[in-house]
Amino acid sequence: MMATDSLDARVDEILKSLGRRTTAPRRQVARLLASKRGAFSAESINAELPEVGRATVYRTIRLLAEAGVLCKALLPDGSPRYSIDHSWHHHHLICSSCETVEEFRSSELERLLGELSDEIPGQVLGHQVDFYLTCPNCLQ
Amino acid sequence: MMATDSLDARVDEILKSLGRRTTAPRRQVARLLASKRGAFSAESINAELPEVGRATVYRTIRLLAEAGVLCKALLPDGSPRYSIDHSWHHHHLICSSCETVEEFRSSELERLLGELSDEIPGQVLGHQVDFYLTCPNCLQ
DNA sequence: GCTACTGGTGATACGTAGTATCAATATATG
DNA sequence: CATATATTGATACTACGTATCACCAGTAGC
Ligand SMILES: [Mn+2]
Ligand SMILES: [Mn+2]
Ligand SMILES: [Zn+2]
Ligand SMILES: [Zn+2]
């Protein structure tokens, strides 16, 4: 897990590079995110930060997701879930039962997806692979 | 594209096999779906069927999606889009600009995803692969 | 450290998507 | 045709996300 101060520094850098200001609310959101394990909804963050306005929570999450600090996964119904992005490219294992989101990587998969991207007409911007499953925990 | 009467028959079968009734509203929704090319939102169907209640439109779309008549894809923001499912397994090419959804198949991809599914802990229920791109049309 | 400029905040309101309710209606079946 | 019950759809409700905008606070220049 990322240390709080290390994420603080990373967020400071990103804000500076984007010409945005370092503010107390943004820091509070970032700190709470750093303490999270696994994926979470924007609403859950909002609920845990009553002293920060809802609009600001959503704006900050969007900002950090676009900056690459957060990674966004979609549950089967389309609900977004966010998690700290560790920079390396990965995909998601999503438990349909408890909605846990785990990371997943496969170099062989990336190689093939890259090849396919070259064959696809148009300009491929990215890809997303999700495995829907019942996680070991939910299998009892 | 599937002929209207052929879809009618398929929907009749499915309703019967599920013990559900064949009703005029369900037929209207199914007929409209059969006339659609590409992917559409539930709201767009509702807008084109003022004589059918909104709840019924949503219920019918969900029913048909669960029965495998419709296939559900998620735009990058999580908005669901539906299209007639042609039974063969496929994935999606989603244009981030015009939100068009195209089908995509690769036996090599399926083979690899199958292998990976066996290695993943838990019981894999399915997978989803989306390529996000700018389609040839939107590249001008 | 001030000041002014400007980006950020958050209460509020709004829009959309989807679902729960439930009285009225339509369908399947004998 | 009569009955049992699945279905409908008007209404209301919830959740999520964003637009507004008066007020506030971070930042750069002095
Ligand atoms: Mn991730
Ligand atoms: Mn499809
Ligand atoms: Zn689980
Ligand atoms: Zn396009």
Does the structure show a pLDDT above 70 at B33?
A: yes
- One domain, residues A76 and A97: no
For residue B124, give the 3-state DSSP assignment. strand
Average pLDDT over residues B55-84: 96
For residue range A89-114, list pLDDT tens digits in order.
999 999 998 999 999 999 999 999 99
User: What's B127's domain CATH number?
Assistant: 3.30.1490.190
- One domain, residues B15 and B80: yes
Yes or no: say if B129 and A128 are a contact pair by the CB < 8 Å rule: yes
Does the structure show a pLDDT above 60 at A136?
A: yes
- One domain, residues B74 and B30: yes
Q: Is the CB of A37 under 7 A from strand D?
A: no
- pLDDT band at residue B3, thresholds of 50, 70 and 90? low
The domain boundary, picked from B64, B84, B104, lies at B84
With beta carbons under 8 A apart, name residues in chain B contacting A123. Answer: 133-134, 139
Average pLDDT of every residue of chain A: 93
Q: Which of B120, B134, B139 has the most A C-beta neighbours within 10 Å, making it the best mutation to test the interface with A?
A: B120
- One domain, residues B26 and B61: yes
- One domain, residues B79 and B98: no
User: What is the model's pLDDT at position B4?
Assistant: 57
Yes or no: say if A110 and B116 are a contact pair by the CB < 8 Å rule: no
Number of structural domains chain B divides into: 2
Amino acid (one-letter) located at B47: A
- One domain, residues B71 and B129: no
Length B23 CA → C30 C1' (Å): 21
CB proximity A65 to B under 8 Å: no
- One domain, residues A23 and A80: yes
Q: How far apart are CA A51 and CA A25, in angstroms?
A: 9
User: What is the model's pLDDT at position A4?
Assistant: 56
Average pLDDT over residues B52-70: 97
Q: How far apart are CA B11 and CA A70, in angstroms?
A: 43
Q: Which ligand is nearest to the CA of A129?
A: 1
User: Please, which residues have CB within 8 angstroms of residue A13's CB and are 6 or more apart in sequence?
Assistant: none
Q: Which residue of A has its CA nearest to B113?
A: A109
Average pLDDT over residues B19-28: 97
For residue range A28-45, list pLDDT tens digits in order.
999 999 999 999 999 999
- One domain, residues A14 and A78: yes
Q: Is the CB of B23 under 7 A from strand C?
A: yes
Q: Which of B74, B94, B102, B111 has the most A C-beta neighbours within 10 Å, making it the best mutation to test the interface with A?
A: B74
Closest Cα of chain B to A59: distance in Å?
A: 15
Q: Which domain holds residue A41?
A: 4-84
- One domain, residues A76 and A96: no
Average pLDDT over residues B95-121: 95
- One domain, residues A33 and A101: no
Q: How far apart are CA A129 and CA B110, in angstroms?
A: 12
- Residues 65-84 of chain B within 7 A of strand C, judged by CB, are 79-80
- pLDDT band at residue A66, thresholds of 50, 70 and 90? very high
User: What is the model's pLDDT at position A40?
Assistant: 97
The pTM of this model reads 0.90
- One domain, residues A61 and A121: no
Yes or no: say if B108 and A98 are a contact pair by the CB < 8 Å rule: no
Average pLDDT over residues A4-23: 87
User: What's A62's domain CATH number?
Assistant: 1.10.10.10
